[in-house]
Amino acid sequence: MKIVIIGNGISGITTARYIRKQSDHEILVISAESDHFFSRTALMYIYMGHMKFEHTKPYEDWFWDKNRIALKNAYIQKIDFDNKKLFSDRGEEISYDKLVLSTGSVNNKFDWPGQDLKGVQGLITKQDVEIMEENTRGVTDAVVVGGGLIGIEMAEMLHSRNIHVNFLVRDDHYWGGVLPKEEAELVGRHIKEHGMNLMLRSELKEIISDDDGKVKAIITKDNKEIKCGFVALTAGVSPNISFLKATKLETDRGILVNEFLETNIKDVYALGDCAQFKNPKENHPPVEQLWYTGKMQGRALANTICGNKTEYERGIWFNSAKFLDIEYQTYGLMLKKPFDDEDTFYWEHKNGKISMRANFAKADGSLRGFNFFGIRFKQTVADDWIRNNQDISKCISNLNKGFFDPEFYKSHHKEIIENFNNAYPKFKANIPKKRFFVF
C-alpha cells in the first residue's frame, strides 16, 4: 500500500514515523517548503542567531532513507480524488492508495489596505524567515500587528536586531482572548520592560507605502500614524486549504474530519493545523493549531491507517510558550475566565514576573487546571491531579512534588500556601515537612 502525505510538518512526519514503526507500507512525504522535516517552532531562533537551519532538524538526513520514508520536494496543485492521483505544479503525476493531508496554515489577512506591500509579512514558513532577513535590513522601527504567540515571537526577533517594536494589540491586554487579566498584565509589563511600545486596544487600519512600494508607516483605527520599515502581520492563522476548495472534499474553515481524522472521502485523512473537527468537544477549539496536538493526532492516525482504528483523544489539555524571558506552562482547560462552577486562586511574586493560578470546582474543591508563569511544573503531576479530581488543598500542599525549576532555584511554595490559606480559609493547605537528604 502506498501512503502519500502532503506536508512535512510535525503532524505529517509523526504520522509517517508511526506508520513505519508498525508496518511496511510505502510512504511518501511531499513538501514544497523544505527537503527535510524541521521544527517550525524554532524558526525564530534562526533569525536571532541562536541556531542555524540545520540545528532545527530533529533527525539527521540519513534518517529518512534508513526508515524508508521517501521525501519529495514538490508543490501539489490539484488532487483527483476519484482516481487517487496528485498533480504537482511541474506537471508530475503521483498516485496514492491512502492520502494524508497535513498542509498546515496560512496567515490571516483582513483585507487591510497595503497588506501585500514589501516589508509586510507573517511568520509561518522557512521562506518567511529568509524574507524577513531581507525585509528587516536597515530597518529601525517596526510594527507587530496581533497580540498572540507568533506576534510576541516576531517582536522578540525584531528586538534582537535592535529594531524598535510597536506592538499593536486589539484587546485590553496582551493575548487577552486567552490569558486571564493578571497573567496578561504580567506579560504586558514584561514586554514594556524590554523597551517595546505595547499599544493596547489598537487596531490596524491601513499600511502606507513609500515610492518604491515598500512600507513606510501604518495608520491605526484611531488614526495614529506610526513610521516603520517593517510590519509583522500575526493576527492568527487559518488552514492552508485553498487548493482543495471546489473539490468533493468537505471543508469549512479547515478540512472537516471526524474523531478518527477521516474526511468525507474514503482513504483520505487530514490532521494538524489544516484539519477541523466536525464535532469538537465542549470548550475545545474545532481547529487545533498546536505542535503537541499535531503530534498526538499523528500517532492516532498512524494507528488507524495501519488497521488499528484509534480515536484521537486530546487528554488533559496542556500547552506552553515563552514570552521573551518568561516561560509559561498551562495544564487543564484554563481560559481567560474560570468556568461558572469554578473558583480561582492566583498568586504572583512581588517581582511581578512569577505567578501561578489554580482553578478548582466550587462544590468539592477538585482541581481543574494550572497556569504557571516563570515556574516550571511537571506535566505528569498536573495531569494526574486534574484527571483524578485531586483536592485543591492537597494540590497546593504538594506543589513541591511538581516543581521542575533547576536545582538551587528559590521555591515559593511557602508563600503560595500562605496566600492560598488566606484567600480560601475553608480549605487548608499545609506546609510539607522538610525531608532531610536520606541516602
- Residues of this chain that bind other proteins (CB under 8 A): 10, 39, 41-42, 45, 48-52, 55-58, 60, 160, 190, 193-194, 291-292, 295-296, 299, 303, 310, 313-315, 318, 320-322, 324-325, 327, 329, 376-380, 383, 387, 404-410, 439
- Tell me whether residue 137 or residue 387 sits nearer to other proteins (CB atom): 387
Q: How far is CA 27 from the centre of its chain?
A: 27
- The answer to whether the beta carbons of residues 408 and 398 sit under 8 Å apart is no
Angle between helices 181-193 and 149-160 (to 10 degrees): 10
Helix (H, G, I), strand (E, B) or coil at 216: strand
The distance of closest approach from Cβ of residue 414 to other proteins in the complex, given in angstroms and rounded to an integer, is: 18
The distance of closest approach from Cβ of residue 65 to other proteins in the complex, given in angstroms and rounded to an integer, is: 13
Helix (H, G, I), strand (E, B) or coil at 240: coil
- Tell me whether residue 185 or residue 405 sits nearer to other proteins (CB atom): 405
- Tell me whether residue 39 or residue 398 sits nearer to other proteins (CB atom): 39
- Tell me whether residue 110 or residue 409 sits nearer to other proteins (CB atom): 409
What ranges make up the beta strands (E) of 74-214?
A: 76-80, 85-88, 93-95, 98-101, 105-107, 120-121, 141-145, 164-168, 197-199, 204-209
- Pairwise CA distance, residues 320 & 386, whole Å: 17
Phi, psi (deg, nearest 5) at residue 197:
-95, 95
> Which residue, 138, 129, 144, is CA-closest to 43?
129
- The answer to whether the beta carbons of residues 87 and 76 sit under 8 Å apart is yes
- Tell me whether residue 98 or residue 190 sits nearer to other proteins (CB atom): 190
- Tell me whether residue 411 or residue 430 sits nearer to other proteins (CB atom): 411
The distance of closest approach from Cβ of residue 53 to other proteins in the complex, given in angstroms and rounded to an integer, is: 10
Q: Residue 140: how many CA atoms within 13 Å on its side-chain side?
A: 2
Cβ neighbours, 10 Å, residue 297: 26
- Pairwise CA distance, residues 244 & 40, whole Å: 23
C-alpha distance from residue 322 to each of 50, 300, 329 (Å): 15, 28, 9
- Tell me whether residue 246 or residue 438 sits nearer to other proteins (CB atom): 438
The distance of closest approach from Cβ of residue 45 to other proteins in the complex, given in angstroms and rounded to an integer, is: 7
- Tell me whether residue 285 or residue 315 sits nearer to other proteins (CB atom): 315
The distance of closest approach from Cβ of residue 322 to other proteins in the complex, given in angstroms and rounded to an integer, is: 4
The distance of closest approach from Cβ of residue 237 to other proteins in the complex, given in angstroms and rounded to an integer, is: 16
The distance of closest approach from Cβ of residue 403 to other proteins in the complex, given in angstroms and rounded to an integer, is: 9
The distance of closest approach from Cβ of residue 163 to other proteins in the complex, given in angstroms and rounded to an integer, is: 12
Q: Return the C-alpha cell found at 165.
A: 517594536
